[in-house]
Structure 1
């Protein structure tokens, strides 16, 4: 790998309560039981930062930590994954920003409490090579982030992160047009198309297709597709954000698009074998080499 890059990620930070091995699919009026429960730091911006750090890069997370007592869970995990923090803490009395993730086989459901603003940045962005935004709502609510990053010479990426209301808002095409890389999954890409949201030919759109792999619908009119990697499925929470980290790590090092997809898919495959978005990650910069060996 080349010298570590400094990468900023910004977005909502959650504490995830991950219930695994449910005895049935949750339904109204019926109680189900889970055999496993884990508390993990969550939110796309954090998970992508954690995986980029595991790939050897210097990362700084910008956002608001969930209210106590969940902030301590997030701080501890951030420190264990060497993720720098440019974070404020939710004011006293604020509802905690948490997500309950319910995992039953390869199915999952989420219930999220999302109080207040995603972040409150009191000063300028620190110098960095790249800014990654963890969800469209953060880009919409804080347009100054992209403007400032561009003025400082950074490249910018954006994850879609499903939010039914935000995917229908006017001005969404203009937000996407401001970034270099856009990361929807297949369902999100279809919903955007159904809502008449057009993708700029200038923006490389990387579509995450789960068991079908991933595809780039890029600026140069050439499509690239790579198949999924076999993996033992434990929990898909955060796999798309891990995918983003793999792609960004390779792309920022100037790797060809197919190699960017390879590392992205390898990171996603690693993620689905873990409980929660990240947890304590080992060094992962071996993953691209392992992926290449599998194809020989």
Structure 2
């Protein structure tokens, strides 16, 4: 039966405005450093993923909120320009849009300070989200709140929508929080710091295989990104590793978001686990070469050319 759902990926979460500062080094506690404003651009973890899917030729929508301010208008316009459906992006009166400040030292490995919008009330997860999920193959979430994720999972079971989650240290800072969230997901993504926070171990073939076995049946697939060391993933067939593509790193902002989005899209297209990893690593290599989360998001043609010539 052909897939008649409207969107490949529904990004759940609020976009934010990214403010990037170039600086010579991060300040010590109580210290001060001089910085140069480098960029103001649209961002937000799940919003970036939606934009990446759309630029790669997939179908994406966002379910979230912006404030009734200039940043909110800019965020809506940016997502519209990238081809993301903003039907379910609400404008909230009396609130400011979220802001993220990227501190970018030499080398491009940034530190991030986030000032999000106030959490939505539980009724935000009502019939409207149910209807949006009915039209979506995957909902992509950064699940800070366990109860919120449980409500999303309940709707996912009713609508037949798969759940992909991103577990950074700020989301799941210990093993209990990690396992509670993983138990509800179909696809789980970690960065290296998130894997260390949740498992207490460095990413390795043995650690990833052990985590998958411990959670069995658990998620269908677990993926770990490791920056310049590439990425690895495990499913029921075992662990696969993929090297990073050689590129000059300018800014790592948004690289993980783009990687995850590319992996989800390739996964939905029925590609093998090695092909999904290779495709996602190729996509993220474009992103880190540019300043900002979305400036380097590639087209499918550009990624295919890189893969053909690599």
Please give the TM-score of this superposition, normalised by the length of structure 1.
0.87
- Secondary structure of 2:144's counterpart equals helix
CA RMSD of aligned residues (A): 2.7
Query: Which moved further from structure 2: 255-264 or 61-70?
Result: 61-70
Structure with higher helix content? 2
Contact 2:102 2:112 in 1 (8 A): yes
Corresponding residue number in structure 1 for 2:113: 111
The CA distance in 2 between the partners of 1:230 and 1:280, in whole Å, is: 15
Residue ranges of structure 2 left out of the alignment (5+ in a row) = 202-210
1:189 aligns with 2:191: no
Report which structure shows greater RCO (CA 8 Å, sep ≥6). Answer: 1
The CA distance in 1 between the partners of 2:97 and 2:81, in whole Å, is: 22
Corresponding residue number in structure 1 for 2:25: 24
The CA distance in 2 between the partners of 1:263 and 1:180, in whole Å, is: 20
Q: 1:154: Cα distance to partner?
A: 1.9
Q: 1:160: Cα distance to partner?
A: 1.1
Contact 1:14 1:42 in 2 (8 A): yes
The CA distance in 2 between the partners of 1:271 and 1:134, in whole Å, is: 21
The structure 2 residue matched to 1:208, chosen from 212, 219, 225, is 225
1:12 aligns with 2:14: yes
Deviations 1:9-45 (A, max 9, x none): 112321111123x233333444433344212222211
Please give the TM-score of this superposition, normalised by the length of structure 2.
0.83
1:91 aligns with 2:93: yes
Corresponding residue number in structure 1 for 2:72: 71
Say if 1:254 and 1:111 are closer, same or farther in 2 by CA, change over 3 A: same
The structure 2 residue matched to 1:156, chosen from 153, 156, 163, is 163
Query: Which moved further from structure 2: 274-283 or 175-184?
Result: 274-283
- Secondary structure of 2:110's counterpart equals strand
Residue ranges of structure 1 left out of the alignment (5+ in a row) = none
Contact 1:207 1:217 in 2 (8 A): no
Tell me the matched-pair count. 288
The CA distance in 2 between the partners of 1:67 and 1:101, in whole Å, is: 23
The structure 2 residue matched to 1:145, chosen from 144, 152, 155, is 152
Corresponding residue number in structure 2 for 1:258: 274
